[in-house]
Amino acid sequence: MSSVQAITEDLKFSVRVASFYEFGDDAKKDIVLRVGELMEEIGKKHDFLVWRTQFETTSMEKNT
């Protein structure tokens, strides 16, 4: 068994979107799947593993 320990990091990206409708579960799932696939592809190229991809959101209500 190897005594090497992996270095873990949380990477955060910020994307601001605007929509007249709330993000549905299908849209959130699609985003998470595509970003996860992209990160796995990049990980193979640069020798890292992707442990988790998740969707976090902060809503900014429009003023009415």
pTM of structure = 0.75
What's residue 1's pLDDT?
63
* Residue 62's pLDDT band (cuts 50, 70, 90): low
What sign results for the dihedral spanned by CA atoms 22, 24, 29, 35? Answer: negative
Residue 24 tokens, joined: 């549905």
pLDDT in tens, 3-60: 888 899 999 989 888 889 888 899 999 999 999 999 999 999 999 999 999 988 877 7
Domain boundaries, the chain: 21-56
Paired tokens of 5: 């320990």
Q: What is the pLDDT of residue 22?
A: 84
Question: Between 61 and 63, whose confidence is greater?
Answer: 61
The rounded distance, in Å, linking the Cα atoms of 49 and 5 is 13
